[in-house]
Structure 1
Amino acid sequence: MEIKLAESIRTFRKERSLTQEQLAEVLGVTVGAVYKWEAGLSTPELPLIVEMADFFDTSIDVLLGYILKDNRIDATARRLRHCQRVKDLNGLEEAEKALKKYPNSFIIVYRSAMLYQALGLYKRDNAKLRRALELLEKARPLLHQNTNPRISEQTLYVAMAEISQDLEDDERALELFRQHNTDGLYSDCIGMILAKDAKRAQEALPYLSESLLIHEAALVRTVMGYLNLFLNSRDYAQAQALLAWALPIFTAMPRPECTSFMDKINSVFYLFQAHVLLKTGQPEEARTSAEEAHRLAVRFDAAPSYAADTIRFAMPGEDSTVNDDLGETAAQAAQNALKQMDDPQTTTLWQEMCDAR
């Protein structure tokens, strides 16, 4: 708790145009006493604080600079979350006070654990990380109190796995990640840990391959979402910037020696790029993009493949396949994209590509 008595005395005195001598005379003390109060070198006794509050026509709370803090559970949890975000070490003191006051509150215990984890990583302080683990273990039996749908038992175990990894307890981290690796959600973490050990590097490959495919698919969906957003709001400049960033990544995904489902997906993205370039007054660049869209569509439809191992770095022999809702063929996917664009100029340009084949 911060007391601002020295600053308050000085401020109130100056507001009334008083010198330190004049205030000392009013209170019946020495000038040196007032000087020490304002310099924070000493503190007036309580009767003098009461007398000053009365003299300055204010309350003792205001004179002290004390602001009543909301210490209810929800407000405290929000402050702990803020301290976690801004890496505020002062939050640890509040966390420990809150843990004493609300020892059986899930949200207080959980937020305190997350704060200790964040600051333990930030300061490379293993003691703080171990405290975070201790609090997460304490939070588990309190989980029934939780009302936040984004926090679950899995959330707690994965946080424990991450902290174990930071504490170089890789075996414990692997155990926890594997137990909660639903749909390959933590295959990247498992693969990364295994790949550090030369003796287990090959064991890492299936996990890394699975993670690669999962995250590449997620990136494609995310870019398509952003693209729809920008096109619906007619923000063609942002759409152009998005595609200029994403297409080099997407075109580098498939293995160059074979046809890949990414050829079909990239064909659609290049067609969208042609549309955006037309809308921004770049017809020649739009034609080049449409030509690439058509080339990729023809390439895919000549030998369609949805095998996952057509992606670079995916594990050879990967037997999984990929599905999409773009259309049965790349040509159909292009037609579906054109319907979505509903732009005669882009449709005409695409038809020219098809007629020139």
Structure 2
Amino acid sequence: MQLTLAENIRKFRKERKMTQDALATVLGVTVGAVYKWESGLSVPELNLIVEMADFFDTSVDTLLGYKMKDNHLESMLDRLYAFCQTLDPTALTEAEKALAKYPHSFKVVLTCSDLFLGFGLSTHNPQLLRRALELQEQARLLLSQNDNPRVSEATICGKMSCAYLQLGEKEKALELLKKNNTDGIFSQDIGSTLAVYMNKAEEAVRYLSEGLLKGMSTLLNVMFGYLFVYRARGDWASALDITSWCNTLISGLKAESTPGFMDKTHAEVMLALAYARMKASMPESAREALKKAAELAARFDSTPEYSLKSVRFMEGVENSIAFDSFGTTAAESIEYLLNLLKDKNLSALWKEISNLEH
């Protein structure tokens, strides 16, 4: 508990334009005593603290600098999260206090487990990691209390695997990840663990490819989502930034010499980029992007290919099929996106360019 009595005595005295000697006279003590209080060398007796509070027209709590904590569960959790954001070691003590007060609360146990895990991983402290594992196991037992759809036994196990991996227990970490890899949510972690920490590069490839594919799909969804967010805000600079960034990444993942589904995907991204450029008052650049989109769309539609052969780095996923919700052909996808964007100038320019391509 941090008090600011020394600073507050000095502050209140100066607000009243009093010298230390004048305050000493009022309280019937020596000027040396006041000096020591304000320097933090000693603390006045309780009766003098009460007398000073009365004299300064304030409360004892205010004079002491004491602020009562809101110890309700949600407020306690908010404080713990705040400590986590700055890696303030006070968090560890506060976490144990919270656990002592709410030992059977899923929210508290899970939050504290995250806190110990974060500190343990960042400081490589095995004791903190073991404490995190204890709390994670406890959280699994309390899972019936969970009302957060983003939390499940699988997500808890994923965090446990991080602790085991840092502790050097690689097999345990891998076992947890594989056992809970529903819909490939941990494929990238499994692949990374196998390749980086267990020298099992060939086994890792399939998982890394699955992770890459899922990451690419997520990237595209996020990019299109943000494009519409920035359109609603009229923030065309940000719309241009995110579509340009996505275009760079998709270009890097596309096997140039292999026609295929990535041509369709890249055409969709180029349309989004053209739209952002047009709205950012870059008409010539928008035209160039649309030309590229038309070329890519024509290339895909001439020989449709729905495998993942046109995605760089993909291995071990030969039987996977690529698709999106925009359309079967690239031309259909472009029309679908144009209808969503509802921009007459972009649609007119696309019609002009696509007619030239044909």
Contact 1:309 1:317 in 2 (8 A): no
Three-state SS of the structure 2 residue aligned to 1:309 is: coil
The equivalent residue for 1:267 is: 267
Aligned equivalents of 2:53, 2:234: Cα separation in 1: 61
Match of residue 292 from structure 2:
292
The structure-2 alpha-carbon separation of the partners of 1:58 and 1:325, relative to structure 1 and needing over 3 Å to count, comes to closer
Query: For 1:303 and 1:100, how far apart are their aligned partners in 2?
Result: 66
Q: Equivalents in 2 of 1:14, 1:198: separation in Å? A: 66
SS at match of 1:36: helix
**C-alpha contact (below 8 Å) 1:308/1:320 kept by paired residues:** yes
Q: 1:322 maps to which residue?
A: 322
CA contact (8 A) 1:83 1:91 kept: yes
Other-structure match for 1:154: 154
- 1:127/1:337 CA distance change after superposition, 3 Å: same
Distance in structure 2 (CA, Å) of the matches to 1:138 and 1:317: 38
- In the alignment, the residues of structure 2 paired with residue 344 and residue 190 of structure 1 have an alpha-carbon distance, to the nearest angstrom, of 47
Change (3 A) 1:232 1:199: closer
Please give the residue correspondences for 1:271-286 in structure 2 after superposition, counting only pairs within 5 Å.
271-286=271-286
Cα distance in 1 between the residues matched to 2:178 and 2:257: 34
Displacement of 1:14 after TM fit? 1.7
Deviations 1:158-198 (A, max 9, x none): 11111111222111110111111111101111101111257
The CA distance in 1 between the partners of 2:288 and 2:299, in whole Å, is 17
Which residue matches 1:73? 73
2:171 is aligned with 1:171: yes
Task: Tell me by how many angstroms 1:329 deviates.
Answer: 1.4
Encode CA deviations 1:305-352: one digit per residue, 9 max, x unaligned.
Answer: 110232111115521101212222112222223333444433333333
Letter in 1 for 2:128: K
Residues 286 and 143 from structure 1, CA distance in 2 versus in 1: closer, same or farther, beyond 3 angstroms?
closer
Aligned to 2:208: 208
C-alpha spacing 1:146/1:22, structure 2 compared with 1 (3 Å): same
CA distance in 2, matches of 1:319, 1:335: 29
Distance 1:230 1:67 in 2: 42
Within 5 A, what are the aligned runs for 1:93-172? 93-172=93-172
The change in CA–CA distance for 1:171 and 1:352 in structure 2 (over 3 A counts) is same
1:250 matched residue in structure 2: 250
Deviations 1:191-241 (A, max 9, x none): 011112575211111111111111111111111112233345554333222
CA distance in 1: counterparts of 2:260 and 2:217, whole angstroms: 13
The offset of 1:353, in angstroms, is 2.8
Aligned to 2:30: 30
SS at match of 1:310: coil
Whole-angstrom distance in 2 between the partners of 1:95 and 1:199: 37
Q: Provide Cα deviations, 1:93-129, integer angstroms capped at 9, x if missing partner.
A: 1112222222222222222211111122222322212
Aligned AA for 1:333?
A: S
Match in the other structure for 2:350: 350
1:139 to 1:339, Cα distance in 2 relative to 1, 3 A? closer
1:193-204 correspondence to structure 2 within 5 Å: 193-196=193-196, 199-204=199-204
Alpha-carbon shift at residue 132 of structure 1 (Å): 1.3
Go from structure 1 to structure 2 and tell me whether the alpha carbon gap of 1:23 and 1:84 turns closer, same or farther (over 3 Å shift): same
Q: Which amino acid aligns with 1:264?
A: K
Letter in 2 for 1:328: T
Q: Percent identity, aligned pairs only? A: 45
CA contact (8 A) 1:260 1:304 kept: yes
SS in 2 for 1:7: helix
Letter in 1 for 2:119: L
- Find the aligned partners of 1:235 and 1:18 in 2 and give their Cα distance: 56
Q: Give the residue type in structure 1 aligned to 2:153.
A: E
Range 183-192 or range 273-282, more displaced: 273-282
Superposed displacement of residue 300, structure 1: 0.5
Task: Provide closer, same or farther for how the CA distance between residues 293 and 26 of structure 1 changes in structure 2, counting only shifts above 3 A.
Answer: same
SS in 1 for 2:253: coil
Deviation at 1:257, TM superposition (A): 2.4
Asked if the contact 2:170/2:197 (under 8 Å) is kept, the reply is no
Partner of 2:129, secondary structure, is: helix
In 1, Cα distance between equivalents of 2:148 and 2:273: 40
C-alpha change, 1:293 and 1:63, in structure 2 (3 Å) is same
Partner of 1:228: 228
Q: TM-score, normalised by structure 2?
A: 0.92
**Alpha-carbon separation, structure 2, partners of 1:187 and 1:309:** 20
Equivalent position SS for 2:142: helix
After TM superposition, list the pairs within 5 Å mapping 1:297-316 onto structure 2.
297-316=297-316
One-letter amino acid of the structure 1 residue matched with residue 206 of structure 2: P
